[in-house]
């Protein structure tokens, strides 16, 4: 055979044996929603034909269901804390064979260099990683990534083969208002495919957002919001993230309108969550348990994300499609017996090289306890305080008189007032934002993390300045991660050496260390929601109400920096 | 406003008045299949938003239905015999606002130059003409277009903005067999979007055709064939052409599987047919009359063809889509009250310049009656004869002893045996193929046409060599067209001066002249189906069984040239 395509056609015609024939299964047609009793002939990783075929190998799928591989329509790999190969090891057995990533955490830390590296690192893995070009770095003018991503950066990313379009346009107020910078991103050649991010946007503002050419949203929380997005011509990406679970609220729309223009995504999933609840297959299972037809649920998880992202050769079992096949014993549990990626069972998944330069992202100026001192007059002056809201990424904007000692405002465990600081960690500027947080329950020590959306500077919460200092120093030594410090000692830590975001370790280690850190935090008194996820969102300056960055406190509702001293 | 997009967003937000508000109608959402009671705000030709809006102008759609403009998924403009502006005048009032053309007739005559000219001529019309790059010129090695279209020609076409992909791959046996030439067309950069043409292809051969990446077919004749194509992952383009009406046979599939992956097209429509039965709107009307839900029928006619052809901004009424709107008084007749193209009622449709060079395509060597003489031994030798089949483009392969006179085989009206010739008319080579045809009923004179698929040489049928000579000469004088000659005089003619295919005249004249030619043919005794359409397909060497080109008779079943003298 002179070419792979010629060979594929020869197999399709029946003139050559297939590499593999999947035989005896009930094969799902995404086009007719039928279960076809047919063989699937595979050659060179592609489906050659459905019908009766002979092959060098046979996979007996008798009595089982054969469906297309699952595709995550929108996710941030960084939330899994795993390198892409380890992520593949985790989710391939769950049926996920492709994912569309917005690598904006990595891009905040490592710029486009980091994205190009990750693209290359994913290239040869037995899971298709597609990217969207991160559109909103920094997330706001109050955040300090290593550098902003400008229009030219986006252009360079969009030229890459596996970059499909522009990632979620998080500056939705800017888009709606017609800001020139945002419209320039939309106008970029190749950016006719754009993901949306429009929390709480309605009516004419949603019209404006859609009129800009943004045709998806994964921030709908209610069926009413989802319905409005569908009517506006936007794909409804149903998100089931660890911290934002929208599946059950939106499933009624599938029953109301059918599966068209709806797809599944996970957005941000912790590794523990995937290990416990599955990935896209878990969303299918829950949808079916909630009464959605299995055929619809499978469409939402396979062909629909492929259609939204224009991945023309993925998401279906038909001639000319990639042989990404999931064999299911039933249509209830959605736990695959066999997963084929490009016609093969992924056995040995290689570990791509992790170069030195992505492992040395933490650059801080020498730090000491005095850096956390907050001089304060003891005359009744009040301070802005970040109020934690259990299980939410929003915070309250509180005003209280801080406890003082030796001319400084100090943490006071008795009043549940901890100190919080954000230390710039990309350029070693020494810039530190300082403030207070209520609702952590922390009684001793300090917790710190280099995972702190979106700029991923170091966020540290503590009741002891020395422990806070040590926490930051320890993260600098590790090259990033999360850490719990008490009485001058490391109680637990999870190194995240790649950009301070991803672990260069197996899943089991990551989960074990992560749980150890959580346990250590609880021992220090932490009583709020998942401690390090809470820390990670304290610095995200685009979610209400009061946040903190290395530049100081941000009143998100007024969208401006505000002093610690209240009014 | 600094940019059109900024202005669109301002209108969407309600900060600026729209150019036009369509008010009071029931607006069809292709995404939810709902009829929304909402305004449609239009600015600069785009839809800015649905909701309550104010505008400089208002269109009252009270009590009526507002649906997206109709799109013809696959058609050959040349069959309408109209220049694109005249075609637009004809079909815009019928609701057609976009069409995807395969200009392969023109390309046979004028090469890529002709296609580039037509692309440019269509550019400013108030109907969107998109093209597919004609993939099969010549249609077979037995035909003589002016020149073949080679891979580089296709590449040049695919680089044009409004060229969407590769047009119907008519050499389906070549594709299925894996011919290197055909696979090279498929491999062309940008040709990931390819229309199919797979009459009677089934089973593993259909798998091979689909596995090559060809994802549509408009040649399905039965529900079984349509079902097979859908299961193979191919878009089912339901064709209702003047000579090939498949609508009613395929509509059951819409009821069986819903509207997904199905779209309407007209392929080849005579001008008379459109004038009498409508265009895409006629297909909707017939579908609804046959029991298809109006919502499904509208989808098949609007958003679905847009989706197949990846025309992301067409086929829906939602923010950011082109304001191509059809206002219907009812959901039965589908005769629009108002049609808006890019937000405007098309009033004055300009006539694009028709350059001299496209009007001088008929180049023949001097011809005389002797050129049609067929020397023949009168010893009982038999001849191959083309047997016409009423209302079909297929023919029978007959064998008969011809009538002889003066050492030549001659036409014999008494035996219903007319002479047929194909005269090469692109390069003036003087090449003539000669033969006989049974079943025309012709008793006198001659009929000739420069419309003769696919190479469009001159086909002439007659019972008198002098009249045949005059017919060919007359077509050369006209620069192309169709003509009926009797007793040395022109009885009727339709000049088709553009490439010998299209009239540089208004629709009414074309229809009048066309009918006059048909009448004249009847007067000459023609008793078969539409005379000049019959002529047009006598030379198409890829449709069984016996055809004729300038190179001689073609046994299509054996796919080879055969002599007139039978075995």
Mutation target among B18, B320, B322, B323 for the A interface, most CBs of A within 10 A: B320
Which tens digits make up the pLDDT trace of A87-100?
Answer: 999 999 999 999 99
Q: Does the pLDDT value for residue A245 go beyond 60?
A: yes
Contact map slice: B 187-206 vs A, CB within 8 A = 187, 192, 203-205
Q: Which of B5, B29, B208 comes nearest A13 by C-beta?
A: B208
Q: How many A-B residue pairs are in contact by the CB < 8 A criterion? A: 168
Share of chain A above pLDDT 90, in %: 94
> CA B194, CA B216: separation in Å to the nearest integer?
7
Extended strands (E) in A371-522: 374-375, 383-388, 395-400, 403-405, 408-410, 417-423, 432-438, 446-449, 458-462, 481-486, 489-495
> How far apart, in Å, are the Cα atoms of B521 and each of A452, B502, B508, B529?
84, 20, 20, 11
* pLDDT tens digits, one per residue of A446-465: 999 999 999 999 999 999 99
CB hemisphere CA count around A82 (13 angstroms): 26
Q: Which chain A residues contact residue B207 at CB under 8 A?
A: 12-13, 48-51, 319
Concatenating the DSSP letter of every residue in A29-56 gives PTTT--EEE-EEEEETTEEEEEES--EE
Cα angle vertex B330, ends B324, B336, to 5°?
Answer: 40
Q: Are A462 and A473 in contact (CB under 8 A)?
A: no
How is residue A154 written in tokens?
Answer: 């986006």
pLDDT value, residue A191: 65
Cβ under 8 Å to B: A residues 221-240: 227, 230-233
Max Cα–Cα distance, chain B, nearest Å: 91
ipTM, two decimals, is: 0.94
**Mean pLDDT (whole number) for B276-287:** 97
Q: Determine the residue of chain A that is closest to B203 in CA distance.
A: A51
pLDDT (mean) for B118-123: 96
Encode pLDDT of A24-48 as tens digits.
999 999 999 999 999 999 999 999 9
Interface residue of B5, B176, B204 to substitute, partner A, most A CBs within 10 Å? B204
Q: How confident is the model at residue B191 (pLDDT cuts 50, 70, 90)?
A: low
| Residue A393 pLDDT > 90 | no
C-alpha span between A232 and A216 (Å, rounded): 10
Residue B543: which pLDDT band, with cuts at 50, 70 and 90?
Answer: confident
Distance CA A176, CA A169 (A): 11
Q: Is the pLDDT of residue A192 over 90?
A: no
Residue A243's pLDDT band (cuts 50, 70, 90): confident
Q: Which residues in chain A have their CB less than 8 angstroms from residue B312's CB?
A: 192, 215
Q: A-chain residues within 8 Å CB-CB of B261?
A: 31
pLDDT at B81 over 80: yes
Residue B461 Cα distances to A8, B418, B422, angstroms: 46, 7, 9
Give pTM, 2 decimals.
0.95
Give the angle subtended at the CA of A248 by the CAs of A244 and A251, to the nearest 5°. Answer: 120
Mutate to test the interface with B, among A8, A11, A12, A203 (most CBs of B within 10 A): A12
- Helix, strand and coil content of chain B, in percent to the nearest 5, comes to 30, 25, 40
Q: How far apart are CA B209 and CA B215, in angstroms?
A: 9
Interchain pair A204, B257: CB under 8 A: no
- Do the Cβ atoms of B207 and A50 come within 8 Å? yes
Flag if A207 and B51 touch (Cβ within 8 Å): yes
Beta strands A403-405 and A408-410 are: antiparallel
Q: Give the H/E segment covering residue A98.
A: strand A96-101
pLDDT at residue B528, as a whole number: 81
Give the pLDDT confidence score for residue B392 in this predicted structure: 81
Q: Residues of B numbered 9-28 whose beta carbons fall under 8 angstroms of chain A's beta carbons: which are they?
A: 9-10, 12-14
Q: Which two tokens stand for residue B296?
A: 């499904």
pLDDT digits (tens, 9 = 90+) for B132-185: 999 999 999 999 999 999 999 999 999 999 999 999 999 999 999 999 999 999
Alpha-carbon gap, residue B226 to B212, rounded angstroms: 19
pLDDT for res A543: 87
Using a CB-CB distance cutoff of 8 angstroms, which residues of chain B are in contact with residue A261?
Answer: 31
Cβ–Cβ gap A321/B215 under 8 Å:
no
Asked if B9 and A211 come within 8 Å (Cβ–Cβ), the reply is: yes
SS3 B481: strand
Query: What is the model's pLDDT at position A263?
Result: 98
Among all residues of chain A, which has the CA nearest to that of B7? Answer: A178
**pLDDT at residue A1 tops 70:** no
CB-based contact (8 Å) between B293 and chain A? no
- Cα distance between residue B306 and residue B325, in whole Å: 14
- Secondary structure (3-state) at B187: helix
CA dihedral angle for residue B25, residue B29, residue B33, residue B37, rounded to 10 degrees: -30
Output phi, psi for A214, to 5 deg. -90, 120
- Chain centroid to CA A6: 40
- Determine whether the interchain pair B177/A33 forms a contact, defined as Cβ–Cβ distance below 8 Å: no
Q: Chain B residue closest to A27 (CA)?
A: B231
The number of C-alpha atoms within 13 Å of B74 and in the hemisphere containing its C-beta is: 29
Q: Read off the pLDDT of residues B505-532 as tens digits, 9 standing for 90 and up.
A: 999 999 999 999 999 999 999 998 789 9
For residue range A319-375, what is the model confidence (pLDDT) as tens digits? 999 999 999 999 999 999 999 999 999 988 999 889 999 999 999 999 999 999 999
Q: Is the pLDDT of residue B80 over 70?
A: yes
Pairing verdict, β B432-438 and A552-555? unpaired
Residue B567 — pLDDT band, cuts 50, 70, 90? confident
- Is residue B216 predicted with pLDDT exceeding 80? yes
């Amino acid at each position: 055979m002179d070419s792979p395509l010629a060979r594929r056609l020869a197999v399709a015609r029946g003139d050559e044996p297939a590499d593999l024939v999947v035989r005896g299964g009930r094969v799902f047609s995404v086009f007719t929603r039928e279960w076809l009793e047919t063989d699937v002939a595979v050659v060179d990783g592609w489906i050659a034909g459905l019908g009766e075929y002979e092959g060098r190998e046979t996979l007996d799928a008798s009595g089982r269901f054969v469906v297309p591989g699952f595709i995550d329509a929108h996710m941030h790999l960084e939330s899994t804390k795993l390198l892409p190969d380890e992520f593949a090891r985790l989710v391939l057995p769950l049926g996920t064979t492709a994912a569309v990533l917005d690598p904006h955490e990595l891009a905040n830390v490592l710029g486009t260099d980091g994205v190009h590296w990750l693209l290359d690192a994913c290239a040869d893995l037995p899971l298709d990683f597609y990217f969207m070009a991160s559109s909103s770095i920094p997330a706001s003018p109050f955040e300090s990534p290593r550098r902003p991503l400008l229009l030219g950066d986006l252009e360079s990313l969009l030229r890459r083969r596996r970059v499909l379009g522009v990632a979620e346009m998080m500056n939705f107020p800017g888009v709606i208002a017609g800001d020139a910078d945002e419209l320039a991103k939309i106008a970029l050649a190749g950016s006719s495919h754009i993901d949306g991010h429009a929390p709480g946007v309605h009516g004419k503002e949603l019209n404006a957002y859609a009129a800009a050419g943004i045709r998806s949203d994964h921030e709908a929380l209610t069926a009413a919001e989802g319905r409005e997005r569908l009517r506006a011509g936007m794909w409804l990406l149903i998100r089931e993230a660890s911290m934002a679970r929208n599946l059950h609220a939106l499933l009624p729309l599938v029953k109301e309108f059918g599966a068209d223009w709806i797809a599944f995504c996970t957005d941000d999933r912790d590794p523990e969550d995937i290990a416990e609840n599955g990935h896209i297959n878990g969303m299918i299972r829950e949808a079916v348990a909630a009464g959605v037809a299995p055929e619809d649920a499978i469409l939402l998880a396979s062909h629909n994300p492929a259609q939204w992202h224009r991945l023309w050769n993925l998401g279906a079992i038909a001639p000319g499609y990639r042989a990404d096949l999931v064999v299911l014993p039933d249509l209830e549990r959605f736990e695959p017996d066999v997963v084929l990626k490009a016609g093969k069972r992924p056995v040995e998944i290689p570990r791509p090289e992790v170069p030195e330069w992505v492992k040395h992202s933490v650059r801080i100026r020498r730090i000491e306890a005095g850096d956390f001192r907050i001089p304060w007059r003891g005359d009744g002056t009040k301070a802005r305080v970040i109020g934690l809201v259990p299980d939410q990424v929003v915070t309250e904007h509180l005003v209280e008189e801080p406890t003082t000692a030796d001319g400084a405002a100090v943490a006071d465990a008795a009043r549940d007032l901890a100190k919080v600081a954000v230390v710039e960690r990309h350029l070693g500027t020494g810039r530190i934002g300082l403030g207070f947080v209520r609702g952590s329950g922390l009684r001793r020590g300090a917790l710190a993390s280099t995972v702190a959306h979106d700029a991923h500077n170091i966020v540290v919460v503590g009741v002891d300045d020395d422990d806070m200092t040590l926490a930051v120093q320890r993260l600098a030594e590790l090259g990033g991660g999360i850490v719990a410090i008490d009485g001058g000692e490391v109680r637990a830590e999870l190194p995240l050496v790649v950009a301070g975001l991803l672990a260069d370790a197996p899943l089991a280690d990551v989960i074990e260390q992560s749980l150890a850190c959580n346990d250590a935090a609880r021992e220090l008194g932490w009583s709020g929601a998942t401690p390090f996820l809470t820390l990670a969102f304290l610095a995200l300056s685009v979610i209400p109400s009061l946040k903190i960055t290395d530049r100081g406190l941000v009143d998100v509702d007024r969208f401006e920096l505000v002093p610690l001293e209240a009014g």
